[in-house]
Structure 1
Amino acid sequence: MSRRVAEAGLFARRPGGYALRIALTLGVFLAGWAVVVAIGDSWAQLLLAVGMAVATTQVAFLGHDAGHRQMFRRRGHSEAAGLIAGNVAVGISYGWWVDKHNRHHANPNHEHEDPDVGAGALVWTYEQAAATRGIRRWVARRQAWLFFPMLLLEGLALHVSSVRALVGREPDGRWRTPVRHRAVEALLLGAHAVGYLGLLFTVMSPAKALLFLAVHQGLWGFYMGCAFAPNHKGMPMPSADDDLDFLRKQVLTSRNVRGGHVVDLALGALNYQIEHHLFPNMPRANLRRAQPIVQAYCAEQGIGYAETGLVESYRQALGHLHEVGRPLRA
């Protein structure tokens, strides 16, 4: 399969396409903040907060691509792009996210290896549900109903996790999370916080600034959660007893979402999750072209290839959450 994809030229970087994508995405992002300044102390800022949540998520997608070195071959260029998109523009630690996301790619949907399905605010297995106590148990019983409301806190969770990754140490003094440029990242996160909060409270009254912050951060987290949720939630969760090769490990745990160019743009091409997991360094614009090659090869090998619509992907994810919480409702 890799040979077929290579013969189609789909591993080649697309510097021109990425230059245009970066210019347009950052251009809209910066223009949005310029409009925020121009409008000043107005209730219309709440509508702008909605638009800025969309723009912020699109910038975060650029950080994702940089983390996988889809844009540039050189690590330094990718890290620079990731620090600008992540730490400066969005306010999350690029190094923390890369470490977490690489562990996800290495063992997708593995309860003990994939940090995205570890026990937390939500539970993904019967065992995780049974271990909950107190308020977490109350949430686990109702987590399918609470899923979308809880996504409004995802942005806050990402910010908090970023700070904890940069300052957290183990009892023996070792850093809890490996981050290559810890001091630089901390400086850039601080600059983001000062610039973001300073701009809001300078151009708006405190009440409007706080409402803008709540709408912007809430909807940004909601959008991010909605973009990543369809990819693996509700798909098989292999354990240490499952002896899966790389191809099956990546394909059987992932779900593609069809919907055309609009969905491609809205989800940052993460709707081609199977192709992305097989070839994480592939530029996002090539994933659509790789799909028929991958799908045909999986059919030849008798490997299930999951693809569904966007609404159905959420139904399957919520169905899994509801089923996991079922024993707690008995």
Structure 2
Amino acid sequence: MGMGGQNGEDCGGGCVKPEARYYSWDEVTKHNLKTDKWLVIERKVYNISSWVKRHPGGTRVISHYAGEDATDAFKAFHPEPNFVRKFLKPLYIGELAADEPHLDRDKNEQQVEDFRALRRTAEEMGLFNSSLVFFGLYLSHILLLELLAWATAWYFGTGWVTTIIIILLLATSQAQAGWLQHDFGHLSVFRTSKWNHIGHKFVIGHLKGASANWWNHRHFQHHAKPNIFSKDPDVNMVHIFVLGETQPVEYGKKKLKYLPYNHQHKYFFLIGPPLLIPVYFTVQIMKTMITRKDWVDLAWSMSYYARFFWTFTPFFGFFGSVAILTVVRFLESHWFVWVTQMNHIPMEIDHEKYRDWLSGQLAATCNIEPSFFNDWFSGHLNFQIEHHLFPTMPRHNYHKIAPLVRSLCSKYSVHYEEKGLLNAFRDVVGSLKKSGDLWLDAYLHK
């Protein structure tokens, strides 16, 4: 199992301390199988094989680090690490041997240590502390949009012009509520997980009609291993698109042609932005809540639909309200897809390369130039690099840590990419076209 490091010692009263166990990286990296999972946090080795199914964040996200050093991921996802460590104690099986490096697979130890020093600096600067005023005002502007939509129907009636205004107000509130629930989901708004949990249920459930648990289990995988096939659900395109430079060639060589991928940059406009939220997400969310018997999330979700139809049925009737909701989802979906994909789709998308936290996040992520509109439009997800490095940092502090991140990346020649909003949109289409062309070349090659 491992390498014995010390003999048993008499601890008084006739008991004997168990023999300390020390392991090499060669042994740790072998334990990354479906039923056999080890990971390392701060040189301590943990066997999570049996416990993984009870992991509150889901089985998959923690499994993605099996056989690796998970120190930076552990710190990134847990705003209350001392509380979480009590769950690790029963899983502890030993430590890395004294002559073993801190990191697996020849990762740059000095680069990793400098990143960890940057995190400590951010903590000392108070950058992980949220402003309740900021988030209170943000929530207020979402509720104001909802109120204005109802007031418009009540005061001006249901003509074409007012209906369009109502739809735009509701679509805007839905998109902005999406960014706010994202904040709550990362436990960065309140200082206690209990209130963040309730806040998240309210925003994503009552204001959007979705499921907090569904979002958490999906989104945290994306943060753990962004743009990694089989580990990031956001790049699981179920054969509709081929992404990056590796997957298109693999599909082409295998003569896989579920769709004409050389035209994917065109049919993206018909399949991606219009259908993701109204069709794919809606069906997946409802199916997940029912199959997992997540009745609490289902109740929160139903409260959104009850409120929506109670508010607008008196003005538009039931079927008219259904039509408005459908159009709102359609517009919100366009907004959501462009904002979420502009930071990742044009970047590297590939199989697992076992990079350190900084290198892995920067390879998969880019920023959009900050401005008042870009910040508001994207919910500060234009600072995607900083968000991925420090997911529990509140968004209003991203601009403060960004110069320090740039400096660290420059020191180690880690590419830090930032571009304009329109260029980012264009690069989404350009990257799809490039991948489609790679597929066609491989597909036609004999």
Q: TM-score by structure 2 length? A: 0.66
Aligned mate of 2:364, from 253, 258, 268: 253
Please say if 1:164 is aligned against 2:283: no
TM-superposition CA deviations, 1:268-297 (whole Å, max 9, x none): 000000100010011110001111110111
Q: Which residue of 2 aligns with 1:17?
A: 134
* Offset, 1:149: 3.6
Q: Which amino acid aligns with 2:241?
A: L
Tell me how far 1:45 sits from its aligned partner: 0.7
2:187 match: 69
Residue identity (%):
25
Residue of structure 2 in register with 1:78 after alignment: 196
For 1:88 and 1:188, how far apart are their aligned partners in 2?
Answer: 5
Q: Which amino acid aligns with 2:430?
A: G
Query: Residues 274-326 of structure 1: CA distance to partner in whole angstroms, max 9, x if unpaired?
Result: 10001001111000111111011110121111111111112222122112222
Name the CA distance, whole Å, in 2 between partners of 1:148 and 1:200: 30
Whether the 8 Å contact between 2:148 and 2:169 is mirrored in structure 1 is no
CA contact (8 A) 2:309 2:318 kept: no
Q: Map 1:168-317; keep pairs closer than 5 Å.
A: 168=291, 175=292, 182-205=294-317, 208-240=320-352, 242-317=353-428
Deviates more, 1:67-76 or 1:19-28: 19-28
Tell me the distance in 1 between the aligned counterparts of 2:420 and 2:150.
34
In structure 2, C-alpha distance between the alignment counterparts of 1:14 and 1:200, rounded to whole Å: 34
Assess if the C-alpha contact under 8 Å between 2:369 and 2:420 holds in 1.
yes
Taking the aligned partners of 2:432 and 2:303, their CA distance within structure 1 comes to 38
Relative contact order higher in (CA < 8 Å, ≥ 6 apart):
1
Q: Distance in 1 between matches of 2:251 and 2:300?
A: 38
The answer to whether the 8 A contact 1:87-1:185 is kept is yes
Q: Which runs of 5+ in 2 are unaligned?
A: 1-117
Note if contact 1:69-1:78 (Cα within 8 Å) is conserved in structure 2.
yes
Query: Are residues 128 and 166 of structure 1, via their aligned partners in 2, closer, same or farther at CA, if it must alter by over 3 Å?
Result: farther
* Matched position secondary structure for 1:233: coil
Which stretches in structure 1 are left out of the alignment for 5+ residues?
169-174
More helix by share: 1
Call closer, same or farther: CA 1:51–1:127 in 2, change over 3 Å.
farther
1:115-146, Cα deviation, whole Å (9 max, x unpaired): 00012343323167557977x514x3322123
Change (3 A) 1:36 1:290: farther
Pairing 1:144–2:265 present: yes
- Deviation string 1:227-275 (CA, Å, 9 cap, x unpaired) is 11111112112423x2311111111210000041210111000000010
TM-score by length of 1: 0.88
Larger displacement relative to structure 2 (93-102 or 206-215): 206-215
Higher mean C-alpha deviation, range 58-67 or range 73-82: 73-82
After superposition, residues 115-130 of structure 1 pair within 5 angstroms as 115-120=233-238, 121-124=240-243, 125-126=247-248, 129-130=251-252
Residue 158 of structure 1 aligns with an amino acid whose one-letter code is: F
Runs of 4+ in structure 1 deviating by more than 4 angstroms, as ranges, are: 127-134, 205-208
The answer as to whether partners of 2:185 and 2:216 remain within 8 angstroms in 1 is yes
After superposition, the CA RMSD in angstroms is: 2.3
Change (3 A) 1:191 1:15: closer
Structure 1, residues 118-177: CA drift from partner, whole Å, max 9, x if none? 12343323167557977x514x33221232343122221222121011123xxxxxx4xx
Task: Name the count of aligned residue pairs.
Answer: 316
Aligned residues of 2:175 and 2:332 also touching (Cα < 8 A) = yes
**Higher fraction of strand:** 2
Return the alpha-carbon distance in structure 1 between the equivalents of residues 250 and 167 of structure 2.
36
State the match for 1:8 in structure 2: 125
